Amino acid sequence: MEQVVLDQNNMKALRFGGISPDVLRELSGVYQPFVKAVKEIISNSYDADAEVVELEFGTDFESLTITDDGNGMGPIEFIRDYIRIGKSYRKSELTAIKGRPRIGGKGIGFLAPARYCEMIEVKTKKKATYEDKVQFELSGVKEIDVEHIFLYGHENEAVLNCIEIKRVTDEYGNEVPTQIDGFKIKFEQLTYHKCDIWYVYDASDFELTAKINFNKLFSLEPSKSLEQIDNFCEITIETVTGQKKHQSYTQIKLHNIKEFVRNDLKDEGKKGARNVASLSGFDQFEWNLSRIIPVNAKIHENIPSELRDYIRDEIDRAKDSIPINIFIKNDESKEALERRIIKPVTKLDFQHDKDIVKKLELFDENNKMFAKGFLVGQSSLILPAELRGILIRVKGVAVGEPTFFGFDQILSGSSKVALTQISGEINIFTGIDAVEDINPGRDGFYKESKVYNLVKKQVVGEYPDRVTGVIKELIDAIIARSDINASLVNFQKKYQSYRDTILEASQVIANLAIENPEVEDAFYESTDMSDLKLCPSVLPKAEGKLSSFSVYEVEDLEDGENGYKVNYETKELFLDKNADIWKRNINIGRQNFDIELKQGNKKNVKMFCQVNPTTRKIYINWDHPIRTSMGDTQFIKHCLATIASNLPQDQLDTYVSLMTSKV
């Protein structure tokens, strides 16, 4: 294995000519907070078509190693592209292999962690043989030797054995007649133009290790030139053998992470935190990272399958390998980083809940701008609070915090409350210009941005003082559901109180029967059947905002929660017959009796209740006037007590008159 450590003279090639340390500091300051610096490193992995990126923090957060399986870099690219400020030449919009829209862009990636650690160590390797070019400006000479270009910054001559100069073109791409002998190029005519020298490079033999020392980089006085820093980067090139030859990767290790970052990451957060700001420092780091890198969304099972597929395939475009797989390793586990989206409190159905589940497709007249998104509303506050609003992402990267385009400041009352129950995302794929539309810190859009205003118009409407559009529909649906849910809670409470009364009575009767078996025996004695059993049954009927709903009792209710399911669209309420809350049976002396509520008025029945021991039915006259005086649950108890104590119901006229105040 050959190893080359460059001496001080060779390092001169790695100076930042003409840039003052102040400018460097300014540039590194773009990446605030720490997570944005990490994002910048991962963005490079993303643009290098990495499938997987692993993040591993060292003990006590002293270091962070970020490893990807992307294209890697050869020594020439590393020096030409990575450690130079600004890109050497413009790259295509999409990455070469996966066709991802590029998300890195400032070309100062290596400076990103400069404020947060003392040094970074980059190990990178490329497995491929590839064609590339270097630019050369001819100054009227006929013969040039370009060997020094390929040794620039590392002086490792072994690299030269893997490079073959193929051709020379002018700035318009036309071939320039030359004779090529190794790195010597003889031009047939004198030229003064820029030209591109095309070469083929087999990078598979070399792994490059570079240590960039930020302490040294920033150690100069602001007034001094960076020319005076002569050894901020130490490069080592090793020849690799075996399996490694066939691998491409880049590994960046942040050494000696600064105390303030470590303290932030170690912060334990608040117990029972309801918003992200109160989570532990590490959890906040994960949360923020998941939003500023295109990763898959964590889709809860309560999200309807149609929307789940839409988010994965159409918004995140997982099938097109647009999201990257990031794993965060610690001592015990390796967890995939996923972007949290709303976790609806109840299972939603795309058809039944279409008033609160929306797919969005946004575009301009010329189809230049194109975006997809979704909105989900729910009947309770969305937690954590940072999920409330619409998160706008550009090429999968969030721009600022979720927003309601300022309407959260304008709306009031129930509409404002409804906004706390809406969450969504919009991912803009095309038509956005990072410079014209988004502010440099990616904290938000410029207010004059055409794309932003187009999205705003399609989501909240065009009026400055009132909401229209899809958000208005969602707000109205949430308010309507809120009213219905309030009635539903009362409906449930009522039925639960019936059930509790029956359960309580079953225990009391059982207890009394230990010493007085006749209490239970009374349920087995035949009573006057009169007409109560022939009266129609009382059907479940909802009240308030639910009164317009049809109520059905069904077996095997699918996706029902708490024993019911509501279809807000068709105004139907389905009760699960198997759920205990709706049941009206009681165990008396080892036998099961069904309690049926009857409309006694239909047959003019005066009795409170009757029992049929043969069919094991207990009929309760729900129209009896005494029910109004007693209340429903007391009346149920009263009826069971009437049977248990064998009260002569036909002799209780006075009692009933007194109780109902009717003479």
Partner 1 sequence: MECIPSQSWLQKITSEDKVLLINPPIQEVRYAWIRWNQPTDLLILSSKLKNEAGCKVELLDFMLPTESGRVPMRDLAKAKEVRTKNIKTTYKARTYGLPLEEATQQLTSILPNWTPTHIVITTMTTYWFETLRPVISYMKTICPSAQVSIMGAYPVYETDHAMRMNADYLITDYFDTAEYCPDFEVYSGEITKFLHNGRTLLFGGLRLSDNSANAIEQIKSLRRQNIRDFVFFESNIFREDCKPLLEMLTALEKEKLSINLHGLCGLEIRNATEGIYTKMLQAGYRSFFLEYDLDNTELNKDSYRRAYLELVKHNSGRISSGNLAGFIMIGTAEDELERLFRHTLNLLEMCGSIIPKPFTPTINSEKYIEVKQKHGLDKLTPHVFPLAVDNGITREEYMEFYQHTSFLNEKRLGQSFDFFDNHYCSVALKRSLGKKGMMI
Please pick, from the candidates 13, 220, 508, 551, the single residue that binds partner 1 as defined by CB under 8 A.
508
Q: Which residues pair with 597 in a beta bridge?
A: 620
Is 500 a binder of partner 1 (CB under 8 A)? yes
Pairing mode, strands 550-554 and 572-576: parallel
Q: Which residues pair with 394 in a beta bridge?
A: 397, 428
Q: How far apart are CA 63 and CA 120, in angstroms?
A: 10
Please pick, from the candidates 321, 497, 506, 646, the single residue that binds partner 1 as defined by CB under 8 A.
506
Is 514 a binder of partner 1 (CB under 8 A)? yes
Distance in Å, CB of 516 to partner 1, minimum? 11
Q: Are 550 and 571 in contact (CB under 8 A)?
A: yes
- Please report, for residues 297, 313, 317, 549, 644, the alpha-carbon distance to residue 370 in angstroms, rounded to integers and kept in the order given: 20, 15, 14, 40, 73
Please pick, from the candidates 41, 375, 502, 626, the single residue that binds partner 1 as defined by CB under 8 A.
502
Is 592 a binder of partner 1 (CB under 8 A)? yes
Please pick, from the candidates 149, 385, 486, 513, the single residue that binds partner 1 as defined by CB under 8 A.
513
Distance in Å, CB of 511 to partner 1, minimum? 5
Distance in Å, CB of 507 to partner 1, minimum? 4
DSSP state of 570: T
Is 346 a binder of partner 1 (CB under 8 A)? no
Residue nearer to partner 1 on the CB measure, 215 or 591: 591
Stretch that binds partner 1, among 172-180, 441-449, 499-507, 645-653 (CB under 8 A): 499-507
Q: How far apart are CA 43 and CA 194, in angstroms?
A: 32
453-462: long-range contacts (C-beta < 8 A, 24 or more apart)? 454/362, 454/364, 454/369, 455/362, 455/371, 455/392, 455/426, 455/428, 456/405, 458/360, 458/362, 459/360, 459/362, 459/390, 459/405, 459/426, 460/404, 460/405, 460/407
542 contacts: CB under 8 Å, gap ≥ 6: 487, 488, 491, 549, 551, 573
Stretch that binds partner 1, among 110-118, 266-274, 371-379, 496-504 (CB under 8 A): 496-504
Is 486 a binder of partner 1 (CB under 8 A)? no
By CB neighbour count within 10 A (0-12 exposed, 13-18 middle, 19+ buried), where does 567 fall? middle
Residue nearer to partner 1 on the CB measure, 603 or 617: 617
Q: Segment 516-535, which members bind partner 1 (CB under 8 A)?
A: 517
Q: Which residues pair with 591 in a beta bridge?
A: 588
Tokens 């020392």 label which residue? 213
Applying CB under 8 A, the site for partner 1 has a residue count of 26
Residue nearer to partner 1 on the CB measure, 503 or 652: 503
Buried b (16+ CB within 10 A) or exposed e, 33-49: ebbbbbbbbbbbbbbbb
Which tokens sit at 578? 């198997």
Distance in Å, CB of 621 to partner 1, minimum? 22
Q: Are 607 and 530 in contact (CB under 8 A)?
A: yes
Distance in Å, CB of 585 to partner 1, minimum? 6
Distance in Å, CB of 504 to partner 1, minimum? 8
Distance in Å, CB of 499 to partner 1, minimum? 8
Please pick, from the candidates 345, 417, 486, 503, the single residue that binds partner 1 as defined by CB under 8 A.
503
Stretch that binds partner 1, among 54-62, 70-78, 102-110, 497-505 (CB under 8 A): 497-505
Is 162 a binder of partner 1 (CB under 8 A)? no
Q: Segment 572-591, which members bind partner 1 (CB under 8 A)?
A: 576, 578-581, 583, 585-590
Distance in Å, CB of 489 to partner 1, minimum? 15
With vertex at residue 162, the alpha carbon angle to CA 158 and CA 167, rounded to the nearest 5 degrees, is 130
Residue nearer to partner 1 on the CB measure, 383 or 508: 508
Q: How many residues does the chain have?
A: 663
Q: Which residues bind partner 1 (CB under 8 A)?
A: 500, 502-504, 506-511, 513-514, 517, 576, 578-581, 583, 585-590, 592
